[in-house]
């Protein structure tokens, strides 16, 4: 995979850049960065049954809720999200944050984020359709939190 032309996928305020797609590793691993502006909140927390996710803080701090427990992930911090664990995040600080996510095996790809962006765009500035968000999650192997 070329690193000279990296697509930025925008889902509302959040920007995602894949650094390594699963197709480049025979499905072993995928890796992406994501930027979350100060004050941004993610309303729906999913779980994923077919892969684990490991997060590494690059800049700023995000407040992750993992199975009901809060973890602040800042520069140099890591957080492991095992399969089946419900999680979500908010940027409660006054500083933009960037995280690196590593997905093993690498079965989550850019199409998930593109599909989510389509649902957000279809809302035309209003709240997105929860059923449509849930359908995208299920299509890509995630389960919306109840």
The pTM assigned to this predicted structure is 0.91
Distance between CA atoms of residues 39 and 50, nearest Å: 30
Per-residue model confidence as pLDDT tens digits over 29-77: 999 999 999 999 886 789 999 999 999 999 999 999 999 999 999 999 9
Is the pLDDT higher at 146 or at 30?
30
- DSSP collapsed to 3 states, 33-74: EEEECCCCECCCCEEECCCEEEEEEEECCEEEEECCEEEEEC
How much is the pLDDT for 95?
96
pLDDT at residue 1 is higher than 70: no
Q: How confident is the model at residue 125 (pLDDT cuts 50, 70, 90)?
A: confident
CATH number of 8-144: 2.60.120.10
Domain map (residue ranges) of the chain: 8-144
């Amino acid at each position: 995979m070329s690193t000279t032309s990296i697509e930025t996928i925008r889902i509302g305020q959040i920007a995602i850049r894949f650094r390594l797609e699963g197709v480049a590793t025979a499905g072993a691993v995928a890796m992406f960065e994501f930027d979350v502006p100060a004050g941004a909140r993610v309303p729906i927390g999913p779980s994923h049954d077919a892969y684990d996710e490991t997060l590494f803080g690059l800049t700023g701090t995000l407040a992750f809720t993992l199975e009901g427990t809060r973890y602040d992930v800042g520069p140099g911090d890591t957080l492991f999200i095992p399969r089946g664990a419900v999680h979500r995040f908010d940027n409660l600080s006054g500083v933009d944050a960037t995280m690196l996510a590593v997905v093993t095996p690498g079965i989550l790809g850019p199409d998930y984020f593109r599909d989510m962006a389509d649902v957000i765009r279809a809302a035309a500035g209003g709240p997105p359709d929860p059923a449509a968000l849930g359908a995208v999650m299920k299509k890509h192997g995630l389960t919306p939190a109840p």
